[in-house]
Amino acid sequence: MDRDVVRVRLPREIRVLAAAAFVIAIGYGLVAPALPTFARSFDVGVTAASAVISAFALFRLLFAPVSGRLVSRLGELRTYLFGLGIVAVSTGACAFAAEYWQLLVFRSLGGIGSTMFTVASVSMLVRFAPPAARGRASGLWATGFLLGNLAGPLLGGALVTFGLRAPFVVYAVMLLVAMALTGVLLRGQVGAVEVTGDLAPELSFRAALGHPTYRAALGAAFANGWAVFGVRVALVPLFVVEALGRAESWGGIALSVFAAGNAITLLTAGSLADRSGRKPPVVIGLAVSAVATAVLGLMPTLPLFLVASLVAGLGSGLLNPPLNAAVADVVGAQRRGGTVLAGFQMASDVGAIVGPLAAGAVAQMLGFGAAFGLTGLITALALALWLRAPETLPR
């Protein structure tokens, strides 16, 4: 591909979405340290406190198809702003919850808003990014989320000193500011690709399933959700404490090491996807993730475990931007595909929900080695799908 095409400057709209992603993620991290303790303050058990966290993910999953239809009917920006507004109001309401059931309801509503702005964000990435720069655009957007997720818990831990309700108020204000700025900066923007005449008919989820690359993307999203958002958070801290005999703080360090590996390769993966194609970095990322994750439970010492975590993070970072870019290629800039993008998000959410339950049960019956090995196998199956998928990079 011509180097001038690869080096095309990303539109301002992409940088706006990345900055908003950072604000959203840092705010999510603000409330993460306070949420379980805040739920427990209503004199409920650990299971009930965990249900508040699970309810957010469950409502994200259940409302994803509706979010896809809203994007198609209302447009990306309106759905995005409505989603931000719902999360802002529901988060602010959490700060004033007087009973446990109120906190549960408000947090569940936040999951609805979250899936609305997530699906709309990806749809706007499709519209605003030049086709030959979708990898870099996805990488920049994902980096915004990653940096926010890294910084948020640190700030949230400091905010808790002012009370368990303070992080919710601060996050609600941050979301309102992000909502106002994105509404002004993105209003009226039509995208990087000139649309001649009316938009092409919307791409349905059933039609997208006929594309082998989209099917492979769903498999990779499911495996990534299982491994990264599910098993990594659920089992890594337990393995460090119970199998390696280290303090709980080392579990957090291991997660940070994974995130560091992720950050190292995110932007590089986006550029590689635009230069060499979507398929090569996805295949490499899945292969690296499968092997590194499968051996995590076999590491006998903490240093080796941290090295394996870093390598797994590198593989995951290679995966995300080209995956988003490939799905965007399937949809195209000349038509909407809200239900297609929602299906892609749902695949990751299902993996994040099923993964910890399945791997946790395997770990309890057969040990950590088998649990991490199963996760590596799931990733390897996604790799098998991608080996048969065609390239989608526009030439």
| Per-residue pLDDT tens over the stretch 94-135 | 999 999 999 999 999 999 999 999 889 988 888 888 888 888
Query: Is residue 236 domain-resident?
Result: yes
Six-digit token string for 376: 């590596």
Which three-class secondary structure state does DSSP give residue 200? strand
- Please indicate, yes or no, whether residues 230 and 152 belong to a single structural domain of this protein: no
The domain that holds 95 is classified in CATH as 1.20.1250.20
What tokens appear for 213 in the block? 């690359």
> 200: which strand partners?
335
Count CA atoms within 13 Å of residue 89 on its CB side.
Answer: 9
Q: Which domain holds residue 150?
A: 9-185
Name the domain count of the chain.
2
- Give the separation between CA 134 and CA 262, rounded to whole angstroms: 19
Does 168 lie in the same domain as 107? yes
State which of 130, 155, 185 marks the end of a domain: 185
Look at residues 244, 276, 248, 240 and name the one whose alpha carbon lies nearest to residue 391. Answer: 276
Report the run of H or E that residue 33 belongs to, with start and end. Answer: none
Beta-carbon contacts of 211 under 8 Å, excluding residues fewer than 6 positions away, are 330
Q: What is the pLDDT of residues 208-265, one digit of tens each?
A: 899 999 999 999 999 998 988 777 777 887 888 888 988 877 877 888 888 888 888 9
Q: Are residues 245 and 115 in the same domain?
A: no
Distance CA 116, CA 192 (A): 23
Over residues 128-187, the pLDDT tens digits come to 888 888 888 888 888 888 888 777 767 777 777 788 888 899 999 999 999 998 998 888
State pTM to two decimals: 0.80
Residue that is last in its domain, among 125, 150, 185: 185
Regarding whether 213 and 351 lie in a shared domain, the answer is yes
172/291 same-domain check: no
Q: Is residue 194 part of a domain?
A: no
